[in-house]
Amino acid sequence: MSISAELYEFIVKVVEDKIKDIKVTREEFDKLASIVKELVNAQKRTEERLNSLAEKVEELAEAQKRTEERINSLAKAQEKTEERINELAKRVDELAERMDQLAKRVDQLTEAQIKTEERLNSLAERVDELVKAQRETEKRLNSLAEAQRKTEERLNELAEAQIKTEERFAILIEAFTNLRKEVGKLSETIGFGLEDIARVVLPGWLYRNLGIDVDRLERKYIMINGREVEVNLYGEGRRDHEKIIVIGECKSRIYDRDVESFYNQVYKPLKEKLGGSLVGVLFGYLIHPSAQEKAEKLGLYVVASYQR
């Protein structure tokens, strides 16, 4: 690039003017040299500080890196913490609900406690009454103890009398046993005697009153369902060419219960076993009206020894 003559002259003039303006004295130069030296020293210190700062910057970079890693870890931990906080919030809500329920229960228990205290007060009053009653009872027990002592004395006396009574009672039992044996023998004698009378009287009564012809009545034992049934009077006869079986029982006194027992124990089982026409008769010295009524209801006959 070329410079014109006019421009060149203008530049030279400007430079010359500036050189004329610059008049540096020796003092100013020394002062400037001193300042430059200080600047050089300052520059060295600055470079040293810059080097130190560079090292610190590198350390800060490392620390920054570690800080970022920790921040990332903290961010993850924060996420977990938030999740736990959410869970805890739910649990807190649940606990709050349970606390409300507990508060209600506490209110209920408070009411129950008030009622319990009222009952305790009532029980305390009753206990006081029972204490008084206990004292009176103790007094009565003392009286009863004295009475018991006297009773024991009397019991001892009665025990001695009881021993004597038992001795006499043993003698009476022995005598009663002997009497029962004698009465049993007499009953057997009377019973067999009554059967003999029935064997003579009943055939005629059966023929005259029922039209049944029976030659003989005898004692017989018949097995029914594995059980032996004793029949005082047993005979086979006929009525208008029909076979009739007669069974009878002899008792000195006949009541309604005897008729019912004969029906259930003898007549009914034999009726079921033998079938056909079966006639049941009870024969005795005395016939009670209740026996006559019961026999008519059950379809049986009762005959007194004096009847013909």
pLDDT higher at 183 or 7? 7
Give the CA-trace dihedral at 253, 259, 265, 270, to 10 degrees. 110
C-alpha count within 13 angstroms, C-beta hemisphere, residue 54? 6
Question: What confidence score (pLDDT) does residue 181 get?
Answer: 44
pLDDT tens digits, one per residue of 44-80: 887 788 788 788 878 888 888 897 888 688 778 788 8
Q: Degrees (nearest 5) of the Cα angle 215, 217, 220?
A: 135
**Which pTM value belongs to this model?**
0.41
C-alpha count within 13 angstroms, C-beta hemisphere, residue 187? 10
CA distance 239 to 212: 5
Tell me the backbone φ, ψ of residue 238, rounded to 5 degrees: -140, 155
pLDDT tens digits, one per residue of 76-124: 878 886 888 688 778 868 877 887 887 788 688 778 888 878 887 887 6
Domain interval for residue 290: 190-304
pLDDT tens digits, one per residue of 246-283: 999 999 999 999 999 999 999 999 999 887 799 999 99
Amino acid letter, residue 296:
E
Q: How many CB atoms lie within 10 A of CB 179?
A: 10
Tell whether 214 is covered by a domain. yes
Tell whether 175 is covered by a domain. no
> Where does the pLDDT of residue 242 fall: very low under 50, low under 70, confident under 90, or very high at 90 and above?
very high
Strands 227-239 and 301-304: unpaired
Tell whether 22 is covered by a domain. no
**Number of domains forming the structure of the chain:** 1
pLDDT tens digits, one per residue of 243-253: 999 999 999 99
pLDDT at 199 > cutoff 70: yes
Supply the CATH number for residue 249's domain: 3.40.1350.10
CB distance 198 to 207 below 8 Å: no
Percentage helix, strand, coil for the chain under 3-state DSSP, each rounded to 5:
75, 15, 10
Tell whether 154 is covered by a domain. no
CA distance 92 to 104: 18
Round the average pLDDT of the chain to a whole number and report it.
82
Paired tokens of 300: 């049986």
Task: Select the highest-mean-pLDDT range: 48-62, 86-100, 136-150, 289-303.
Answer: 289-303
Tell whether 257 is covered by a domain. yes
pLDDT at 133 > cutoff 60: yes
Question: What confidence score (pLDDT) does residue 92 get?
Answer: 60
Tell whether 219 is covered by a domain. yes
pLDDT tens digits, one per residue of 159-198: 777 777 676 656 665 554 445 544 444 444 444 589 999 9
Question: What confidence score (pLDDT) does residue 24 get?
Answer: 54
Question: What confidence score (pLDDT) does residue 185 get?
Answer: 41
Amino acid letter, residue 284:
G
CA distance 3 to 270: 174
User: Which range among 11-20, 30-39, 161-170, 245-254 shows the weakest confidence by mean pLDDT?
Assistant: 161-170
Tell whether 228 is covered by a domain. yes
Residue found under tokens 């200080």: 38
Tell whether 182 is covered by a domain. no
- Report which of 231, 248, 232, 239 is spatially closest to residue 209, judged by C-alpha positions: 239
Question: What confidence score (pLDDT) does residue 130 get?
Answer: 75
Question: What confidence score (pLDDT) does residue 29 get?
Answer: 65
